[in-house]
Amino acid sequence: MRKSIDSIIYSFPVQLVFHHMRRNLALVILWVLFVVTISGGIGKIYGIHYLYLDPEYVNQVGFWSFFMVGLAFGNFTMAFHITCYILDSHRFTFVGILERPFAKFSINNSVLPLIALITYVVLLIRFQSSNEFASSVNILLDVVGLLCGLAVMLAVFFIYFKFTNKDIFKYLAGSVDKRLRKSSLSRERMMNKLTESRARRYKVYSYFDLKLRVRSCRRLQDFYDKEAVLKVFDQNHFNSVVIEFGVIFLILFLGTFMDNEYLQIPAAASSLLMFSIVIMLVGAFSYWLRGWGLVSAVGLFLLANLLVKWGLIQGEYPARGLDYEGERVNYTLGKLRELNSEQCFREDSLQMLKTLESWRQQQVEPNPRAVFLCVSGGGQRAALWSLNALVNVDSILQGQLMRQTVLITGASGGMVGAAYFRELYWRKVQGEKIPAVSERLRMIGRDNLNPIVFSLLVNDAFFRVRRYTYDQKSYLKDRGYVFEENLNRNLGGVLDKKLAAYREPEMKAQIPMMLMSPVISNDGRKLYISPQRVSFMGKSTTGDPDGKIAGVGFNRLFEKQGAENLNFLTALRMSASFPYITPTVSLPSEPRIEVMDAGISDNFGVGDAVRFIEVFKEWFEENTAGVTMVIIRDTRKNAPIEPQSNPSLIQRMTYPIASVYNNLGNIQDVNNDERIASLKDNLRVPLQTVELEYNTYTNIDESYLVEAKETERKQLERASLSWHLTTKEKENIIQNIDLENNQWALRRLETIMKEGE
């Protein structure tokens, strides 16, 4: 038994794993990070694991999408083998005298990649079966695609090493010492490796050969030949440099055509390419700088940070349509007071009253009810849910929803869904043919994440030098631009227009107004983006002239920078700046304004709707029979309280910050309820609220505290907060409108609009 255990422990594969745990922990962490990610241990709420388990290529999940992920996984695996070989082959001196040493080293170094691959295959089979409802044949094709991609990449690498090693080996055989004498750095590094290999020898009894047969290497342990070690080191170092340059060239090549959807590889493949680069960088720093590797890496990061700060590396992400070459507006407290003065308030209010009168004239009933739509944020999930909810609300109102709606407010994905619904209504009014409901839902549910992650890898992570022209202005391409282009393509190109294109239809009340309100990161105020001038939205609600200004109108602030030329897709993105995914937009001001997702301030848009009603309270009291707020939210307002397991030390340390973030929606709900209650008390016409909510807790009995396992099971059914949805998630979102709470809300809305309460 002892002998058998020793034969396993002192086998080459096991000793390599021990060595990596001891000296190459950074490389091991990358594999652990990969496994944790695909299993949902990291970023589960954002659906990051779905990128690997459900990769899309040209809006399709199948053999070719998994084939590309397999290619990238193979590249990641070979980057690991190459880096380990350069760093560690000299520690196992018997490797240098084996035939085709790199190939045999790689086979024995495959424990970690093999564990990761097996885990990946098992998880994707389970996922495709339970979440994508794929047939056994389709699942088999997915797995075959992954393995074929992996096999092709491994074959390319091994063929390359087979032929290049042979040629370089012959060349080096007669000129090793001569070459080393020419390079003092190489000679010094070689001598260090010789010293390391003599100082500590690893005990290895056996290894796997190319046919996976166990071979003894006990007799090879004492063999030591300086020239052989030098040849192995030199030839494979050269090969690794060629491969590193090849990977970088591939990334730059793909970046040149990043607008081409056929070259936008799956996000999982992009991230694996990034992992490959990280492994190569770790190996390069460890090899050349040894103990100074960490210090040098930190130094390079600080240098890059300074270059961005000094403007030598572009750190701004522009808004398409604005002028960044001319004069920049001064964003100061004095400017805010000027744009929110009594004169601006009066001018904008009078103009808005004309728009409200136009709305009044569009109504059929002599005493109409004003509808306000409030749609919540939540990425692709909110976009699909909002669109489907609006379709059903419009059906209840016999196609009159847009005619009766005064204003649409909200955040992020909800505004994308509402904007798409409104645009299709406008086109239908003009006599154009629009897609069927099922087609609309399919289009808005298409993937938007792959192009973003791909652009992040091939463009934003390096130097952004590629440019595009819009409205005779030149801008740098970034992942925000790619997101807008992909979203526009997914929705049939209907939203690709300037913000000003909606001014006249909104003023004439042919379509409802839409107010986007991203948050200014500089001071937390709102930036109100609308084709109309809305300075009345930013004025203090207390009536105190010294009260804090709540926000500023985009049109007035950036009038000289071409605010009316802002692309409408960019305006939507500014309201949906998903952290780190879609970049925060930088505006032409001094100091530079950067905007964040509107959901940070009010994810449901209720506050903006209430503020609008308060400003024009007298008009609504005199000209309407009441106000109805239809709130479409992608979270349940009164979700059951979830039990907590015993927190870990890290959870205890992060709890104060995590609790604020996790309860941000609850805090906003409390504030919004107070605003609505106050408005009801002061408004002399009825104010009703109807809430449609994406609900994943319906089947849980709330009369008792939910068990942790049951809560976790139900949470798994909730769509991820991402710009990518699985087939199961899409079906779950669409079917959610049929739940009793939502059907009851629709019936109540119908009653309110017909008879009143």
The pLDDT of residue 183 is above 50: no
* CA dist., res. 113 & res. 208, Å (int): 16
CB 449 within 8 A of CB 535: no
Distances (CA, A) of 704 to 636, 642, 663, 701: 18, 11, 22, 7
Q: Which of 82-91, 561-570, 642-651, 709-718 has the lowest mean pLDDT?
A: 709-718
Q: What is the mean pLDDT of the chain?
A: 82
Look at 248 and 77; give whichever has higher pLDDT. Answer: 77
* CA dist., res. 432 & res. 424, Å (int): 9
**What is the structure's pLDDT at 292?**
63
CB 418 within 8 A of CB 408: yes
* Chain segment 106-122, per-residue pLDDT in tens: 899 999 999 999 999 99
Tell me 10's DSSP state. Answer: T
The pLDDT of residue 223 is above 70: no
What would the mean pLDDT of 178-206 be, rounded to a whole number? 53
The pLDDT of residue 227 is above 70: no
* CA dist., res. 691 & res. 737, Å (int): 12
**What is the structure's pLDDT at 505?**
96
Q: Where does the pLDDT of residue 515 fall: very low under 50, low under 70, confident under 90, or very high at 90 and above?
A: very high
Dihedral (CA of 541, 542, 545, 551) sign = negative
The pLDDT of residue 699 is above 50: no
**What is the structure's pLDDT at 544?**
63
Q: What token pair was written down for 433?
A: 């043919």
The pLDDT of residue 540 is above 50: yes
* CA dist., res. 538 & res. 340, Å (int): 7
- Which residue is it, tokens 């890290």? 650
Q: Which of 24-28, 68-72, 286-290 has the lowest mean pLDDT?
A: 286-290
Q: Where does the pLDDT of residue 176 fall: very low under 50, low under 70, confident under 90, or very high at 90 and above?
A: very low
CB 527 within 8 A of CB 521: no
Q: What is the dihedral of CA 184, 187, 193, 194, to 10 degrees?
A: -140
**What is the structure's pLDDT at 379?**
86
The pLDDT of residue 497 is above 90: yes
- Which residue is it, tokens 């070719």? 64
Q: Where does the pLDDT of residue 642 fall: very low under 50, low under 70, confident under 90, or very high at 90 and above?
A: low
Look at 750 and 452; give whichever has higher pLDDT. Answer: 750
The greatest distance separating any two alpha carbons of the chain, rounded to the nearest whole angstrom, comes to 101
Burial annotation 493-504 (CB, 10 A radius, 16+ → b, else e): ebbbebbbebbe
**What is the structure's pLDDT at 235?**
56
Helices (H), 221-341: 226-256, 267-289, 293-309, 333-339
**What is the structure's pLDDT at 129?**
87
Q: Where does the pLDDT of residue 314 fall: very low under 50, low under 70, confident under 90, or very high at 90 and above?
A: low
Look at 279 and 368; give whichever has higher pLDDT. Answer: 368
**What is the structure's pLDDT at 681?**
92
* Chain segment 315-355, per-residue pLDDT in tens: 678 999 999 998 999 999 999 999 988 899 999 999 999 99
pTM for the structure as a whole: 0.83
> What proportion of the chain, given as a percentage, has pLDDT over 70?
77
Q: Where does the pLDDT of residue 168 fall: very low under 50, low under 70, confident under 90, or very high at 90 and above?
A: very low
Q: If we measure between CA atoms, which residue out of 280, 178, 274 comes closest to residue 237?
A: 280
The pLDDT of residue 224 is above 60: no
The pLDDT of residue 69 is above 90: yes
**What is the structure's pLDDT at 466?**
81
* Chain segment 386-430, per-residue pLDDT in tens: 999 999 999 999 999 999 999 999 998 999 999 999 999 999 999
Which range scores top for mean pLDDT: 167-171, 213-217, 364-368, 508-512? 508-512
The pLDDT of residue 173 is above 80: no
The pLDDT of residue 535 is above 50: yes
Look at 105 and 627; give whichever has higher pLDDT. Answer: 627
Q: If we measure between CA atoms, which residue out of 222, 219, 220, 214 comes closest to residue 8?
A: 214
Q: Which of 140-154, 216-230, 536-550 has the lowest mean pLDDT?
A: 216-230
* CA dist., res. 608 & res. 410, Å (int): 8
CB 323 within 8 A of CB 470: no
**What is the structure's pLDDT at 158?**
82
The pLDDT of residue 187 is above 90: no
Q: What token pair was written down for 750?
A: 């119908």
- Which residue is it, tokens 């695909």? 38
What ranges do the domains of the chain cover?
1-166+204-211+226-307, 329-638+684-755
Look at 479 and 458; give whichever has higher pLDDT. Answer: 479
**What is the structure's pLDDT at 530?**
95
Q: Where does the pLDDT of residue 702 fall: very low under 50, low under 70, confident under 90, or very high at 90 and above?
A: very low
- Which residue is it, tokens 């009995």? 701
Three-state DSSP string of 590-629 = ECCEEEECCHHHHCCCHHHHHHHHHHCHHHHHHHCCEEEE
* Chain segment 726-746, per-residue pLDDT in tens: 888 888 899 999 999 999 999
Which run of H or of E encompasses 369? strand 369-375
Q: If we measure between CA atoms, which residue out of 323, 340, 344, 339 comes closest to residue 589?
A: 323
661: Cβ–Cβ under 8 A, 6 or more apart, which residues?
A: none
Which range scores top for mean pLDDT: 10-19, 274-283, 460-469, 513-522? 513-522
Q: What is the dihedral of CA 602, 603, 606, 607, to 10 degrees?
A: 10
* CA dist., res. 308 & res. 427, Å (int): 44
CB 722 within 8 A of CB 47: yes
92: Cβ–Cβ under 8 A, 6 or more apart, which residues?
A: 12, 15, 105, 202, 204
* CA dist., res. 556 & res. 530, Å (int): 11
Domain 329-638+684-755 has CATH 3.40.1090: yes
Helices (H), 517-576: 554-557, 568-574
Look at 458 and 104; give whichever has higher pLDDT. Answer: 104
Look at 658 and 674; give whichever has higher pLDDT. Answer: 674
